[in-house]
Every structure is written in structure tokens, then in C-alpha cells.
Amino acid sequence: MIFTAFFKAVAQLPDGRFQSVLWRGIGLTIALLVACYAGLLQLIAWLTAEPITLPGVGEVTWVGDLLGWGSLGLMLLLSIFLMVPVASAITSLFLDEVAQAVEEKHFPRLKPVAPIGFGEALKDTVNFLGVLVGANCLAFILYLIFPFAAFLIFYALNGFLLGREYFQLAAMRRLGRDGAKQLRKKHRGTIWLAGCLMAVPLTFPLINLIIPILGAATFTHLYHQLSSR
């Protein structure tokens, strides 16, 4: 069941709507990082507008250049670590479109549903990102205590979080928030295992950028399979 849903999702990755969501997420992420860097440069320019005078040295005019080049290196380094979580968070705002594309292709007889509002999607995305980051920060303690089980802890934890989030997203389009929660509790084991499957590619650069889209598509299939039982 899980692998059937997963491979159907993979097969639909070339879908134009899937690609649109992916590139919008990446494009907005790059724009956000560039805007943050521009803001940082403005701050540096403001702080170094007046020459700095050092005792025994006199006026120092190269501090602004040093901070500017240093900030560029810092931003490039941070981008390596921030690109994936930020892109995933932004992409999550549009995952309702992915679920709709799956249903239109594989479940064409279903009645259309109203799309999730941007405000509600933003709230859910921010909450999920906060929980994801917070839980993984706390997990570092377990990694230090049980280093031999670090990978298992990572996959188990993120599998639970990803499964919970993506199944909720897929199910509440049809059942509402409370109905989705009840169905998720009924099939928590299957959902957790499917989430672990989604967590595995998180450790692979670039591939992890498609996880939100792949997760939304996989769990849309999984929801319809479980709800028909």
C-alpha cells in the first residue's frame, strides 16, 4: 500500500503543477535569501558610515569592506544549511495544489473541494516548521547519548512528524481538521511507516527539495486508500 502510493507519486513528478510548485518554492527561497543579504549589507553600510578611529592607528576605512566580504561568505555558508528547510517551508504553502493535481488525475470522479486558504496554509506551515526544527534540535541530545542509533532516531522522529503533517494535509481537504485527526489516529502505524519512507531522502542534497511535493502526493494516495477501508 505505502509503496504503491509512493511510486504513483514519483510517476507524477513531471506533472506541470508539481513542477510549478517546486520552482515557485525554490525561486521564492532564493529571493528571500537575497533580500536578507541586501538588508544585512544596508545594516553594515549604516554601521560603518562614519570612519572608525583607533588609538595609535587613526582612521580606519576598510572595516566596511571587510564586513561586506565577510558577510558574503557567511551568507553563502548559511545558505547551504538554510536552503532546504526554507524552501520546504515555502513550498508547503502550495501543497494543496499538489493534492488537487493527484486527485484530478487518479480520482477524477471525486467532487472538487474548496482550496485551503493562504492564511490557514501559512499558519500550518509555520507551526510545522517550528515543531520540525524544535524536535530535531532536541534530538541532538539523544544523538549524543545514543550515537550508534542516531540514524534510527532521525528517521523515526522525522518519519513521525512528516507522516503526521502530510497525512493531515491530504485528509483535511475532504474530512476537515477533526475528521483528519481521527483517521490519522486510526492508522497511525501505517502513516508513521510512510513518513519514515519520506524521511530517508532528507539526507540527500537536492533530492530533499522535492520531499514536500512527493510527501503531499504520496499521502494523498494513502489517504484515499485508507479512507476506503
Tell me which residue has cell 483535511: 172
Could you tell me the pTM of the whole model? 0.75
pLDDT at 76: 62
- 9-57 pLDDT tens trace: 889 889 888 888 888 877 877 777 777 777 777 776 666 666 565 565 5
- 166-176 pLDDT tens trace: 898 888 888 88
E strands, the chain, are 52-54, 58-60
Beta bridge partners of 54: 58
3-state secondary structure of 112: coil
pLDDT at 192: 93
- 124-140 pLDDT tens trace: 777 777 777 788 778 88
pLDDT at 138: 83
> Which run of H or of E encompasses 224?
helix 211-227
Q: What percent of the chain has pLDDT over 90?
A: 7
Q: What percent of the chain has pLDDT over 70?
A: 77
* Of 199 and 115, the one with more pLDDT: 199
- d(C-alpha 188, C-alpha 203), whole Å: 24
For 59, which DSSP code?
Answer: E
pLDDT at 57: 52
| Residues with Cβ within 8 Å of residue 13, at least 6 apart in sequence | 19, 210, 213, 214
> Which run of H or of E encompasses 47?
helix 16-47
Please give the grid coordinates belonging to residue 189.
502505524
pLDDT at 74: 67
- 47-63 pLDDT tens trace: 666 656 556 555 555 55
Tell me which residue has cell 517546486: 22
> Which run of H or of E encompasses 60?
strand 58-60
Neighbours of 113 (CB within 10 A): 13
Q: Mean pLDDT, to the nearest integer, of 193-206?
A: 81
Q: Which residue type is seen at 61?
A: T
> Which run of H or of E encompasses 54?
strand 52-54
- d(C-alpha 29, C-alpha 22), whole Å: 11
Length of the chain: 229
pLDDT at 190: 92
pLDDT at 205: 67
- d(C-alpha 11, C-alpha 15), whole Å: 9
Please give the grid coordinates belonging to residue 154.
532521525
